[in-house]
Amino acid sequence: MPLPLRTLYLSDNPHLESIKLKESFNLKYLEIANIAFKTLPELGVLPNLIELNLTHSKFTTVSIMQLSSLCRLKKIDLSKPIFENNNCDCYKFLTWAKAKHINYGNFTCTSLVNPDSFKCHINKTEEENFIKCLKVEPKMYISRYIIFSSILIGIVAVCLIICCLCRRRSLRKKKAKSRKKIVQQTSQEKKLTTTIY
Domain CATH number, residue 17: 3.80.10
Among 67-71, 133-137, 146-150, 154-158, top mean pLDDT goes to 154-158
Q: Is residue 145 one of the residues assigned to a domain? A: no
Strands (E), the chain: 7-9, 29-31, 51-53, 75-77
* Closest to 121 in 3D by CA, of 151, 155, 94: 94
Q: Is residue 181 one of the residues assigned to a domain? A: no
* Residue pLDDT, tens place only, 79-134: 766 666 667 778 888 888 888 999 988 777 766 666 666 677 778 888 888 888 88
Q: Is residue 14 one of the residues assigned to a domain? A: yes
* Closest to 92 in 3D by CA, of 69, 72, 63, 70: 63
Q: Strand pairing of 7-9 and 51-53? A: unpaired
Q: Is residue 89 one of the residues assigned to a domain? A: yes
Q: Is residue 34 one of the residues assigned to a domain? A: yes
How high is the pLDDT of residue 84?
66
When divided into structural domains, the chain yields a total of 1
How high is the pLDDT of residue 75?
94
Distance CA 83, CA 80 (A): 9
Q: Is residue 18 one of the residues assigned to a domain? A: yes
How high is the pLDDT of residue 185?
77
Q: Is residue 169 one of the residues assigned to a domain? A: no
* Residue pLDDT, tens place only, 4-29: 788 988 888 877 777 777 667 788 99
Q: Is residue 29 one of the residues assigned to a domain? A: yes
Give the structural domain span for 37: 1-135
